[in-house]
Amino acid sequence: MNAPLPMLLCLSMLAALLGTALWHDLRTRRIPNRLVLLGTLAGIALHASLSPGAGLFEVPFGGLGFLPSLAGSAIGLSLLLPMYLLRALGAGDVKLMAMCGAFLGPQATLEAVLLTLLSGGVLALAAALAGRRLRLVLKNTYYMLLSALLTSMAGGPASITEPPAATGRLAYAFAIASGTGLQLLLNYHHLWLWR
């Protein structure tokens, strides 16, 4: 069975938003607030205005409703927020995941965040290998974790400090787009193929 046209239109909208965010992130290392705000509002509006269904990328096609879409956005935001507080991600990355959550809904957002984190790890490892910085990345990781452990054992708050030597910044929008795309592909592959 083929995916219905409205589902393909929703997928195209999400892909265009993610592609634009990735383009901005690669060029400027920033994701525009206007883009993620409009994308989040579009995802919520679609879920709130379409006839009830199982989701924008599920059969039966239809909206989950205002609150589930808002919950998906909140889950995307809250799961990546700790990484922003640790300065491992930028605020735009966190807001981009919240935008994806507005399209996906709560359950699919949990899966997409997990796949995003895995994609980000693979991306970081690939970048370290390509730039011949793997040894520095491993050394920085060791010192950050050791510092957090010693600080917490001394009674201080367990926090991860910035490494002494930076290993570069990644365009994390790529990991978010990959994780979201993988979630859609793995969970809804039956919609995109003929049976």
Cα–Cα distances in Å, from 67 out to 33, 43, 94, 149? 22, 12, 20, 40
Give 54's DSSP letter.
S
> What are 52's strand-pairing partners?
63
- One digit per residue, pLDDT tens: the chain, 195 residues? 466 889 999 999 999 999 999 999 999 999 999 999 999 999 999 999 999 999 999 888 999 999 999 999 999 999 999 988 888 889 999 999 999 999 999 999 999 999 999 998 888 778 777 766 666 666 766 776 777 777 777 776 655 555 554 445 678 999 999 999 999 998 876 555 544
Instruction: Select from 67, 60, 64 the least CA-distant residue to 4.
Output: 60
Helix locations, the chain, DSSP H: 5-28, 33-49, 66-85, 91-104, 106-130, 134-153, 173-192
